[in-house]
């Protein structure tokens, strides 16, 4: 196990090195899997060049590979700088952040509150004066704003803090305008998690008492419990020209972005008709809660000037994949379609902000794709077809949009990989939790209260558990089909498709496969995979993410796909 403890001396000598030398050393260490010293070098670079995106990218690469076991203020400072970077997924820093929060002497008073047995115990133990320095620490604030922290004890801590803040606000005199950075950060945390944590009836009462107040503190506190968009006073404040600082940031999420999405929604073209009953239901379900919410993401560090390929994303959702791919291949045209106008609007807004105008979005039903006549070099459909009543009908439509030699990136649920989820679904059915925010919160509260040994609690290891829309997709979906490898084989056969390999697999896993099946170097033998999954049932806990094409077209990829493939950006089958 890798552990990270810094030698201050080593850091001091690193900080004298010129930038190019730091980069050279980082690359050298990283390529030799020396991740701990590589992270030190990256932190030194970040400290020297706090605004350099590529320094933060290097730190983000290394931080995923290490386990932080000690505390050093330089790590804290470096990570604060990394939080300001715009082209990395801040979540990579989550474990390092949690560890530093735990080891940082400054945060001891706050972290000690995690031991509170229940609400009352918490109220007895909390002392605003001693925890205020903790919650005003930018490291803490940036962490809860940007990381989508997925950790039960932490969620409990913040939920109790939220209740404390609400009560304190009601009684007055404790919270002042100086506390706004903390209140806004707390509010952003709950906003990003879509208010997945449960609220008590007494809190609900208190909230109604502030729901018409228009001062910034009240707005920030209200934002810890409610999306502010529908509140007129929030709308008014958001449009205030002199708005600045944390409240401006907060209202830009709660109000400005939402307004823009509402505007966009009006102008999304319709590509197909939607009249299938399930499609309509699914559309409604995603209408309220676009899935998944995302903000920052790893922008590819490289650009590929591939000319003129056409990509279709069938069921694009909120379009993270669309935007990322569009930015990576600036000259490729990408069409995203989905049933949900809300999700599309979220994607359009995100694409606009980074200038990904090689994207085209339309509302459409996969079941009706034959109403369009365009064909594509690559079709991506991830986590979509298994939500259709008749996935085969969807599959047939998608295949129909493929150019000769085109490829498909498909992702489907695995029966074995989702065993723990199946158990949760049973629990939900038994207890009759409804697919409403309240039902989902209640379900989450039940899971959280389980003893740690309970197998059902494993679901809380998944990031998706921590926000409402993701949680809904994870366990509450009205329609889901799960597959076995046997089912996959049959599915591919029925549609005359050839399996070309699984995607996005860890190197270690591939090595394991190769050592077991040395005579299948391309890793495309599904009989082997069947045995492999039996032996390692969590291999596809995420999904079966695979590539396929029409039979007999394995060796004749379309021109457009061949160009994309040549960039080696997508890992297809074996990565060497």
Partner 1 sequence: MTYLNLSGQTPTQHMMDQDAHAKAEAGRLYDIAKGHIDREEYKTANPIIENILTLHPTHIGAMELKAISAYTFGDTETALYIAREIKKLQPLYPGVDILIGRILVKAEQYPEAVTTLEPALAKQPYDEGFSALSRAYFYLGQKPKAEESLRRAMAITPDKAEHIYMYLSYLYQVTETNDPHFARLHKLISESPTDMNSAYLHYALFKAFQDIGDYDRAFESLQVGAHAKRKAIHHQSGHLERWMDDIRTYFSADFFENQHIQGYDTEQPVFILGMPRSGTTLLEQILHAHPDISGIGEERRLSELITEFSSLPEYDGKPYPLRRSRSGAYLPPQAIGREYMHFMNKTGNSAKRIVSKSIAHRLWAGMSSLIFPGARYIHIHRDPMDMCLSCFATNFTGAAQGYTYDLAELGTHYKTHTRLIAHWNDVLPGRILNVRYEDIVKDTETQARRILGFLNLPWDDRCLEFYKAEKSVSTASVDQVRQPIYDRSVGRWKKYEKHLAPLIEALKE
Kindly list the residues in this chain that would bind ligand SAM in the complex (CB under 6 A): 279, 282, 286, 291-292, 315-317, 320, 338-340, 343, 365-367, 382-384, 387-388, 473
- Please report whether residue 86 would count as binding partner 1 according to CB under 8 A: yes
Q: Which residue among 10, 51, 239, 538 contacts partner 1 (CB under 8 A)? A: 51
Q: How far is the CB of 569 from partner 1 (least distance, A)?
A: 10
- Please report whether residue 27 would count as binding partner 1 according to CB under 8 A: no
- Please report whether residue 566 would count as binding partner 1 according to CB under 8 A: no
Span from 46-54, 185-193, 338-346, 504-512 in contact with partner 1 (CB under 8 A)? 46-54
- Please report whether residue 117 would count as binding partner 1 according to CB under 8 A: no
Nearer to ligand SAM, 61 or 412 (CB): 412
Query: Residue 414, SS3?
Result: strand
Nearest-5° angle of CA 397, CA 403, CA 405?
Answer: 115
Residue 441, CA atoms < 13 Å, CB-side half-sphere: 15
Q: Which does 302 bind (CB under 5 to 8 A by kind): partner 1, ligand SAM, none?
A: partner 1
Beta carbons of 216 and 177 less than 8 angstroms apart: yes
Nearest-5° angle of CA 292, CA 298, CA 301?
Answer: 150
Q: Which does 366 bind (CB under 5 to 8 A by kind): partner 1, ligand SAM, none?
A: ligand SAM
Structural tokens at position 336? 């995203």
Nearer to ligand SAM, 71 or 297 (CB): 297
- Please report whether residue 331 would count as binding partner 1 according to CB under 8 A: yes
Using CB under 8 A, count the residues that bind partner 1: 32
Nearest-5° angle of CA 126, CA 128, CA 130?
Answer: 90
Burial class (CB within 10 angstroms; exposed 0-12, middle 13-18, buried 19+) of 508 = exposed
Nearer to ligand SAM, 273 or 493 (CB): 273
Structural tokens at position 374? 């365009």
Site string for partner 1, 273-312 (x = CB under 8 A): --------------------------xxxxxx--------
First to last CA, the chain: 24
Nearer to partner 1, 354 or 427 (CB): 354
Q: Read off φ and ψ for residue 544, nearest 5 degrees.
A: -80, 110
Order the strands of the 376-382 sheet from edge to edge: 359-363, 333-338, 310-314, 376-382, 402-412, 544-550, 497-502
Q: Which does 16 bind (CB under 5 to 8 A by kind): ligand SAM, partner 1, none?
A: partner 1
| Pairing label, strands 497-502, 544-550 | antiparallel
Q: How far is the CB of 50 from ligand SAM (least distance, A)?
A: 32
Q: Which residue among 3, 10, 19, 566 contacts partner 1 (CB under 8 A)? A: 19
Q: How far is the CB of 383 from ligand SAM (least distance, A)?
A: 4
Nearer to ligand SAM, 250 or 411 (CB): 411
- Please report whether residue 355 would count as binding partner 1 according to CB under 8 A: yes
Q: Which residues contact 355 (CB under 8 A, 6 or more apart)?
A: none
Query: Residue 338, SS3?
Result: strand
Q: What separation in angstroms does the CA of 225 have from each of 186, 222, 400, 545? A: 10, 5, 46, 36
Q: What separation in angstroms does the CA of 336 have from each of 86, 109, 270, 361, 533? A: 24, 48, 12, 5, 32
Q: Which does 352 bind (CB under 5 to 8 A by kind): partner 1, ligand SAM, none?
A: partner 1
Nearest-5° angle of CA 443, CA 170, CA 466?
Answer: 25
In the window 173-202, what residues touch partner 1 (CB under 8 A)? none
Structural tokens at position 92? 């990579």
Strand partners, 497: 550
Beta carbons of 340 and 286 less than 8 angstroms apart: yes
Q: Which does 53 bind (CB under 5 to 8 A by kind): ligand SAM, partner 1, none?
A: partner 1
Give the helix/strand (H/E) hosting 349. Answer: helix 341-354
Q: What angle in degrees, to the nearest 10, is found between the helix axes of 73-84 and 138-146?
A: 50
Rounded to whole angstroms, the Cα distance separating 296 from 298 reads: 7
- Please report whether residue 528 would count as binding partner 1 according to CB under 8 A: no
- Please report whether residue 362 would count as binding partner 1 according to CB under 8 A: no
Q: Which residue among 15, 47, 54, 287 contacts partner 1 (CB under 8 A)? A: 54
Q: How far is the CB of 64 from partner 1 (least distance, A)?
A: 20
Give the helix/strand (H/E) hosting 426. Answer: helix 419-431
Q: Which does 303 bind (CB under 5 to 8 A by kind): partner 1, ligand SAM, none?
A: partner 1
Beta carbons of 102 and 142 less than 8 angstroms apart: no
Q: How far is the CB of 301 from partner 1 (least distance, A)?
A: 6
Span from 6-14, 346-354, 412-420, 553-561 in contact with partner 1 (CB under 8 A)? 346-354
Span from 1-9, 186-194, 352-360, 431-439 in contact with partner 1 (CB under 8 A)? 352-360
Span from 44-52, 136-144, 428-436, 496-504 in contact with partner 1 (CB under 8 A)? 44-52
Beta carbons of 219 and 247 less than 8 angstroms apart: yes
Q: How far is the CB of 84 from ligand SAM (least distance, A)?
A: 26
Q: Which does 387 bind (CB under 5 to 8 A by kind): partner 1, ligand SAM, none?
A: ligand SAM
Q: Read off φ and ψ for residue 383, nearest 5 degrees.
A: 70, 35
Q: Read off φ and ψ for residue 294, nearest 5 degrees.
A: -145, 160
Residues that bind partner 1 (CB under 8 A): 16-21, 50-54, 84-87, 299-304, 326-327, 330-331, 352-358
């Amino acid at each position: 196990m890798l552990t990270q403890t810094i030698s201050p001396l080593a850091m001091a000598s690193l900080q004298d090195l010129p930038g190019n030398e730091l980069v050279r050393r980082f690359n050298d260490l990283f390529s030799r899997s020396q991740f701990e010293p590589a992270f030190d070098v990256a932190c030194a670079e970040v400290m020297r060049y706090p605004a350099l995106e590529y320094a933060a990218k290097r730190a983000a690469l290394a931080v995923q590979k290490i386990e932080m076991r000690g505390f050093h203020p330089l790590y804290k400072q470096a990570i604060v700088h990394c939080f300001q970077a715009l082209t990395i997924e801040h979540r990579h820093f989550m474990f390092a952040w949690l560890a530093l929060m735990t080891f940082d002497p400054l945060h001891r008073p706050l972290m000690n509150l995690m031991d509170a047995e229940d609400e009352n115990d918490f109220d007895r133990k909390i002392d605003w004066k001693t925890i205020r320095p903790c919650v005003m620490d930018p490291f803490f604030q940036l962490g809860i704003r940007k990381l989508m922290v997925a950790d039960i004890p932490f969620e409990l801590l913040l939920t109790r803090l939220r209740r404390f803040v609400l009560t304190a606000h009601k009684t007055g005199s404790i919270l002042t305008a100086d506390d706004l950075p903390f209140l806004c950060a707390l509010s952003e945390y709950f906003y990003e998690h879509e208010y997945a944590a449960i609220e008590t009836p007494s809190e609900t009462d208190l909230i109604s008492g502030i729901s018409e107040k228009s001062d910034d503190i009240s707005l920030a506190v209200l934002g810890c419990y409610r999306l502010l968009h529908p509140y007129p006073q929030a709308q008014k404040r958001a449009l205030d020209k002199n708005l600045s600082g944390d409240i401006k940031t907060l209202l830009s999420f709660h109000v400005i972005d939402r307004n823009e999405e509402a505007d966009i929604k009006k102008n999304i073209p319709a590509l197909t008709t939607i009249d299938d009953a399930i499609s309509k239901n699914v559309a409604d379900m995603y209408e309220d809660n676009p899935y998944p919410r995302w903000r920052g993401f790893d922008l590819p560090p490289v650009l590929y000037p591939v000319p003129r390929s056409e990509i279709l994303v069938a069921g694009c959702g909120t379009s993270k994949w669309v935007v990322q791919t569009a930015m990576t291949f600036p000259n490729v045209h990408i069409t995203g379609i989905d049933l949900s106008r809300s999700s599309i609007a979220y994607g359009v807004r995100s694409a606009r902000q980074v200038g990904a105008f090689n994207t085209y979005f339309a509302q459409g039903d996969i079941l009706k794709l034959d109403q369009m006549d365009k064909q594509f070099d690559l079709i991506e459909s991830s986590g979509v077809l298994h939500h259709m009543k008749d996935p085969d009908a969807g599959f047939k439509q998608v295949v129909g949009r493929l150019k000769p030699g085109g490829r498909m990136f498909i992702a489907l649920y695995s029966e074995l990989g989702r065993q723990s989820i199946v158990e949760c679904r049973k629990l939900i059915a038994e207890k009759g939790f409804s697919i409403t925010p309240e039902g989902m919160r209640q379900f989450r509260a039940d899971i959280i209260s389980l003893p740690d040994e309970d197998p059902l609690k494993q679901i809380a290891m998944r990031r998706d558990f921590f926000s409402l829309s993701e949680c809904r997709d994870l366990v509450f979906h009205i329609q889901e089909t799960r597959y076995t490898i046997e089912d996959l084989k049959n599915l591919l056969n029925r549609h005359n498709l050839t399996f070309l390999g699984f995607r996005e697999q860890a190197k270690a896993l591939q090595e394991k496969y190769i050592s077991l099946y040395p005579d299948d170097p391309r890793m495309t033998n599904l009989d082997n995979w069947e045995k492999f999954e039996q032996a390692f049932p969590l291999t596809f806990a995420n999904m079966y993410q695979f590539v396929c094409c029409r039979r007999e077209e394995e060796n004749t990829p379309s021109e457009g796909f061949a160009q994309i493939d040549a960039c080696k950006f997508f890992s297809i089958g074996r990565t060497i």
